[in-house]
Structure 1
């Protein structure tokens, strides 16, 4: 159950702690609006800045954009972050990703693209083993055309989006109207 909204207020630039305001201004300039999640995460200027910095580093990594989005959607569906799934579904559409790829990621199903499936499987293996992946799992990732550097960038992405997904769930961050078309709910067992 999401946290009560009154616990994590929807901060604006006027109500946010001073330390969060520069980050909030930057996000608003970049997106053209202030996402509700950013307003709630602003309760901790350190968490907000930490996520933004980690995300900028992950975005600058040598993993290609589709591989990064596969990682994010894999973490987001695993951690059941409705907001991250919606946001990164929109990003996949912006990137022109195959609709079947998007549907498989949202459904936490294997991907038809072998290279991207190698990313998804490696992310799940890193998570399941807390990084102590079996040699054959690392070999399979490398054999799909990735590098040792990419393997460490997967850890960076997992850390970044674990921070985001857990914070969004803790604060009960809603999906902004701009992302409503990409809303997602986890499958029920």
Structure 2
């Protein structure tokens, strides 16, 4: 139902983003090819993703948040892609397995980030002050709390769009499914 675009078949307003993504990753991820049908949705995701990557959360924190959302939202593509990223980072395999299984994490600080992310989602941001303080007591900041909202927004867009379009795994990610 949703066209799987190439750089040549995509709407003109999506082509530059498709080329840049292909250049950066070495392949065109199927979700990007599918999202290209809406240049605005594609640009929105890519801009939000870049903004999230520039937050004060470190890379492991960001990937923990992303895989938490991907697993919660049952996005096969995002689970595989971010498993691959965590593996490339040489993250603890037990951490990756727990994130994928939506289970408690072996690292207390990352587990707090995971639980806080889920609480923000469950309450639509209506997190009680005591719960926010618990997050802060684990070494995070109020800036990090707002950055988590940015990450949730970014990867809710991604996971919902991927599920809506039925984004298949690229061959490059099948080993991480």
The interval holding the TM-score normalised by the smaller chain is over 0.9
Which of these residues, 11, 23, 32, is aligned with residue 26 of structure 2? 32
What residue number does 2:108 align with?
114
Describe the SS at the equivalent of 2:37: coil
C-alpha separation in 2, matches of 1:11 and 1:171: 12
Partners of 2:3 and 2:110 in 1: CA distance: 38
Match of 1:131 among 116, 119, 125: 125
Q: For structure 1, which runs of at least 5 residues remain unmatched after alignment?
A: 1-6, 184-189
Q: 2:43 aligns with which of 42, 49, 56?
A: 49
Residue number in structure 2 paired with 1:77:
71
SS at match of 2:119: helix
Aligned to 2:5: 11
> Aligned residue pairs: how many?
177
Between the aligned partners of 1:118 and 1:127, the Cα distance in structure 2 is 14
Kindly provide the CA deviation profile for residues 6-33 of structure 1, in whole angstroms up to 9, marking residues without a partner as x: x111101111000100100100110111
Provide the C-alpha distance between the structure 2 equivalents of 1:136 and 1:99, rounded to a whole number of angstroms: 32
TM value normalised by structure 2: 0.99
Instruction: Tell me how far apart the structure 2 counterparts of residues 182 and 169 of structure 1 sit (CA, whole Å).
Output: 18
Q: Deviations over 1:30-67 (max 9, x none)?
A: 01111111111100011011000000000000001111
Instruction: Please give the secondary structure, in 2, of the residue aligned with 1:28.
Output: helix
Distance 1:69 1:140 in 2: 21
C-alpha distance in structure 1 between counterparts of 2:63 and 2:29, whole Å: 19
Deviation at 1:104, TM superposition (A): 0.1
Higher percent of residues as helix: 2
Cα distance in 2 for partners of 1:54, 1:135 equals 27
Deviations 1:56-101 (A, max 9, x none): 0000000011110110011111111000000000000011100000
SS of corresponding position for 1:181? helix
